[in-house]
């Protein structure tokens, strides 16, 4: 069925005058990152459409690896290089860098592919910039990343997490603060169980590095400053999520967004 859909998309693109590519990172239930590739074009009847091409797994998270992954998808559907007139990603340096970003690599091959910044991601950049101004908050989010990274590196640790917490901790993203919100909510709601998980890893693991890391995270979870920040952002982030979801709507306009920003 997937092959049939992909062939249908290819046929539609062959009849379209111009094409735009959109790529963005997403995370599955196993906290594994994938690159979603979407094409936007106008059908012969004048109807604009967006078609999801599929999930890709770049060999690395550097600009060249991601660009090669996107280009591989483009080569399967676009015969004429000049047909690609737009590329849209988030605002990270890896994607948007003028000289060594993904958009620069793509434009080397597709000269007409102008980069358009995804404006829904600007909220993420603003929130990220704001939270970086306070040292205690910077330390808090750094510690939060340590928790997700600790479990992402070991199936054995995840097994203990599943046993005690019975819920995966979402892996945060530098450009998508809704993922950080999910991480905050999970850590807040399962705070006691996480401390229990760390204690269990300390007592059962045979790896010195894992024991040291689990002990450090357990002590960090019990620090009053961390607990305070966790409670504060657990109450703040839902408001950010509401605005983020409004910005992500396919049907919106400047007046509506202005109203939502003022409400926020």
Radius of gyration of the chain (CA): 21
For 23-42, the pLDDT digits (tens) are: 987 766 555 678 899 999 99
Q: Is the pLDDT of residue 250 over 80?
A: no
pLDDT surpassing 60 at residue 120: yes
Mean pLDDT computed over every residue of the chain: 83
Tokens 């750094």, residue located: 142
Q: What is the number of other CB atoms lying within 10 angstroms of the CB of residue 99? A: 6
pTM: 0.62
pLDDT, one tens digit per residue, over 130-147 is 888 889 999 998 898 888
Hey, which residues does 24 pair with through a beta bridge? 36
In tens, the pLDDT along 82-112 reads 999 999 887 677 787 778 888 899 999 999 9
CA distance 233 to 240: 10
Q: What is the pLDDT of residue 166?
A: 65
Tally of residues, the chain: 264
Q: What is the set of domains in the chain, with CATH numbers?
A: 1-117 (3.30.420), 122-262 (no CATH)
Residue at token pair 């839902």 = 238
In the prediction, which pLDDT does 220 show?
A: 94
Per cent of the chain over pLDDT 70 is 89
pLDDT digits (tens, 9 = 90+) for 164-220: 776 666 555 554 555 578 888 888 988 998 898 888 888 888 888 888 988 999 999
For 89, list phi and psi in degrees, rounded to 5: -140, -175
CA 217/CA 213 separation, integer angstroms: 6
Q: Give me the long-range contacts of 226-233 (CB less than 8 A, separation at least 24).
A: 226/140, 226/143, 227/191, 229/136, 229/137, 229/140, 230/140, 230/184, 230/187, 230/188, 230/191, 231/188, 233/140, 233/184
């Amino acid at each position: 069925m997937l092959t049939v859909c992909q062939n249908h998309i290819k046929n539609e693109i062959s009849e379209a005058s111009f094409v735009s590519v959109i790529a963005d990172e997403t995370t599955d239930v196993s906290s594994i990152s994938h690159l979603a590739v979407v094409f936007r074009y106008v059908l012969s009847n004048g109807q604009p459409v967006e078609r999801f091409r599929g999930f890709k797994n770049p060999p690395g998270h550097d600009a060249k690896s991601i660009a090669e992954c996107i280009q591989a998808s483009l080569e399967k559907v676009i015969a004429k290089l000049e047909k690609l007139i737009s590329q849209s990603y988030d605002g990270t340096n890896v994607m948007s860098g003028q000289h060594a970003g993904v958009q620069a690599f793509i434009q080397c091959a597709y000269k007409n592919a102008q980069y358009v910044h995804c404006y829904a991601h600007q909220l993420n950049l603003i929130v990220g910039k704001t939270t970086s101004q306070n040292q205690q908050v910077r330390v808090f989010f750094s510690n939060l990343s340590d928790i997700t990274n600790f479990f992402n590196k070991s199936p054995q640790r995840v097994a203990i997490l599943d046993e005690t917490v019975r819920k995966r901790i979402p892996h945060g993203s530098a450009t998508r603060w809704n993922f950080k919100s999910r991480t905050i909510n999970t850590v807040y709601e399962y705070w006691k169980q996480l401390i229990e998980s760390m204690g269990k890893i300390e007592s059962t693991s045979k790896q010195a590095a894992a024991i040291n890391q689990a002990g450090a995270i357990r002590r960090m979870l019990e620090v009053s400053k961390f607990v305070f920040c966790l409670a504060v952002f657990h109450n703040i982030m839902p408001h950010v999520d509401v605005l983020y979801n409004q910005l992500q709507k396919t049907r919106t306009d400047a007046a509506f967004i202005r109203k939502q920003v003022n409400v926020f």
